[in-house]
Amino acid sequence: MIRIAPSILNANFDDLPNEIAKIASAADLLHLDIMDNIFVPNFTFSPERATAIIADSPLPVDVHLMIASADSAVAPYLTSKAFGITVHLEACDDPVSTLRSIRGAGKRSGLAIKPNTPIESIEEILDEIDMLLVMTVEPGFGGQSFMEAMMPKVEKARHWINQRGFHDLWIEVDGGISPDTIAIARKSGADTFVAGSSVYKSSDPAGVVTQLRAIGEAV
């Protein structure tokens, strides 16, 4: 089973209800990128606006926190209606405690790693993670090219997951996912795919989501 999670990073922020409605019938999750202009050089939504988007979403929301001091900054999202919350390893002083707080709030716990972070850095805490997010671009902006060089990370993580029987641990990839790249990531072991530009720069966002699913499921 695969999951497609369109990112609204490239959607029209002034018309989000309609933008989200375009993909609601075709997607599995809504990927919500929260940026603070500190951890990454871009800003998207305040906690107040983000939690309102989460509350109004017709899809389960996959929250991706690209924010500094994630151990404490995660707090407003723990009481939101988010389906899952992903923090960056690089932004946590105590990732295990933060992941446990996410699970304790009834959410799926996600841990993301940037392209320069070795996959080995998360191996010992896999049992605390419900979803591993392998960034296939440098986080901060949409529209970047897919970094195929990240696929060995995905392959290694998939090996560990299978070896240890963590069958409910998802591997998500985010960055440059399109009909041209999803098969590469799927073959490497990813099962959850964030797609932003390829979906929202299309005249038929739902059609692209359907196409991505068909390609991914055919692998």
pLDDT averaged over the chain?
97
- Identify the domain containing residue 122 by its residue range: 3-218
Amino acid 183: pLDDT:
98
pLDDT confidence of residue 31: 98
Question: Sign of dihedral through CA atoms 139, 92, 64, 123?
Answer: positive
Contact 142, 197 (CB under 8 A): yes
Q: 72-89: per-residue pLDDT in tens?
A: 999 999 999 999 999 999
**62, two tokens:** 């996959």
pLDDT in tens, 86-134: 999 999 999 999 999 999 999 999 999 999 999 999 999 999 999 999 9
Report the chain's C-alpha Rg in angstroms. 16
Q: Which residues are catalytic?
A: 33, 174
Residue 5, token pair as written in the block: 């999670």
Domain count within the chain = 1
pLDDT of residue 9: 94
Give the model's pLDDT for residue 141: 86
What distance in Å separates the CA atoms of residue 5 and residue 32, rounded to the nearest whole number?
Answer: 9
Per cent of the chain over pLDDT 90 is 98
What CATH code is carried by the domain that includes residue 89?
A: 3.20.20.70
What is the model's pLDDT at position 143? 85
Low-confidence ranges of the chain (pLDDT < 50): none
Q: What is the pLDDT of residue 107?
A: 98
Sign of CA dihedral 119, 155, 169, 187: positive
